[in-house]
Structure 1
Amino acid sequence: MAPRKQQEIFDATLRLVAERGYDGLTVEGVAERSGVNKTTIYRWWPSKAALLGAALVESDVLGFDSPDTGSLRGDLVALVEGVRRLLTEPPGSDIAVAALGAAVRHPELDARRFFADRFAREREIFERAVGRGELKASADPMLIVDLLAGAVWMRSVFRGLRVDDDFATEAVSALLDGI
């Protein structure tokens, strides 16, 4: 399948899940919105769960580039800022909350691939920091990411509070400098 058409299918999938939730997402709806036949979609993805899982990882809408600012602190601030934008600015916020929230209720939607893909990219931040002597090799990168990204999720999604522009800097400082 042509990469452009694949992105159109992923875009339609993510926008539909944002609008209708996982239960309202259908392969027929994705086919109609993306202008392809539903048999084409089923040829590549055997179910709506497989399609949404692929869209979460492969879509340009939720794209992610690992920051490289030259310092661990700068990289973590940029990472937290990226999570903040993802969870607070449309269309990413609508998509992330709907799709990843559905993963909790629907085990057939394997969101682990989404998080594994993100963490594989984030790992570079910690490898560079160890190489520069900013971080002990024994530090747990996943714990650090979970603490920081979890803080954004908690504040923006679960508590429904505004995440201020200085939140990323404050969260990273609290983690790296201690409370």
Structure 2
Amino acid sequence: MDESADTGTTARPRRAEAIFAATLELLATAGYEGLTMEAVALRAGVNKTTLYRWWKSKDEVLAAALTESDLLTFPVPDTGSLRGDLIETARSIHCLLTDAATAPIAAAVLAASPGRPSLAAVGRMFFADRAAREHPLFRRAVVRGELDDRTDPRLVMDMLAGAIWFRVFLRAEPVEAADIDKAVDIVLNGIAA
């Protein structure tokens, strides 16, 4: 039986979304230590050989799940302004970090990363993928004359997303819409009067 499906970009197993969902659910419920290829195969309803045909390790399947799963994606906004695009992007990040379906995944990655170089590499891959998806909003801002082309999009997103991650996971405080608007304004305008 052919286990592949053509998605138009890269070949994936036919049950890729089920595999990705199983991987992320296990990460959220059992933690990184409880995430095994056997458990993913069982939960996804596929043969373990199918997993090993596509990925060599749990880190590889986790990297694929984090970057390719529909669960963790959101559309890159095009509101017509850099400020509007950053606000919408920051709101989407906040939603991922607080939604019942995705918050445990983010918390598990954050908790498991220290001292695990392979998981840290997966995290870097995830954030590099997100940065690549967000770059169009910065390119449009340069074209519109809202942003200098020397601006580092990664640093901008680190400041915005970092503020949200810090408030949600380290302070365990709510993030209101007005907080996001203020954070975007500080990033765009600075803090000096």
TM-score, length of structure 2 as denominator length: 0.88
1:169 has 2:181 as partner: yes
Q: Aligned pairs, how many?
A: 179
In the TM superposition, 1:73-152 aligns within 5 A as 73-109=83-119, 110=121, 111-152=123-164
Gaps of 5+ in 2: 6-11
* Consecutive aligned runs of 4 or more in structure 1 exceeding 4 Å deviation: none
Distance 1:107 1:39 in 2: 26
**2:51 corresponds to which residue?**
41
Task: Note the aligned Cα RMSD (angstroms).
Answer: 1.3
Distance 1:171 1:49 in 2: 33
Distance 1:104 1:146 in 2: 19
CA-to-partner distance for each residue in 1:12-32, whole Å, 9 max, x for gaps?
Answer: 000110001101111111111
Gaps of 5+ in 1: none
Residue of structure 2 aligned with 1:157, choices 165, 169, 183: 169
**2:35 corresponds to which residue?**
25
Instruction: Note the C-alpha offset of 1:167.
Output: 2.0
Alpha-carbon spacing, 1:105–1:90, altered in 2? closer, same or farther (3 Å) = farther
Instruction: Note the C-alpha offset of 1:100.
Output: 4.3
Contact 1:61–1:92 (Cα < 8 Å) also in 2: yes
**1:50 corresponds to which residue?**
60
Distance 1:21 1:78 in 2: 30
TM-score, length of structure 1 as denominator length: 0.94
Instruction: Note the C-alpha offset of 1:103.
Output: 3.1
Distance 2:93 2:105 in 1: 13
Report which structure shows greater RCO (CA 8 Å, sep ≥6): 1
Distance 1:159 1:140 in 2: 27
Q: SS where residue 36 of structure 1 aligns?
A: coil
Instruction: Note the C-alpha offset of 1:176.
Output: 1.5
Contact 1:64–1:118 (Cα < 8 Å) also in 2: no
Distance 1:145 1:175 in 2: 9
Distance 1:98 1:57 in 2: 16
Aligned residues with identical type, % of pairs: 52
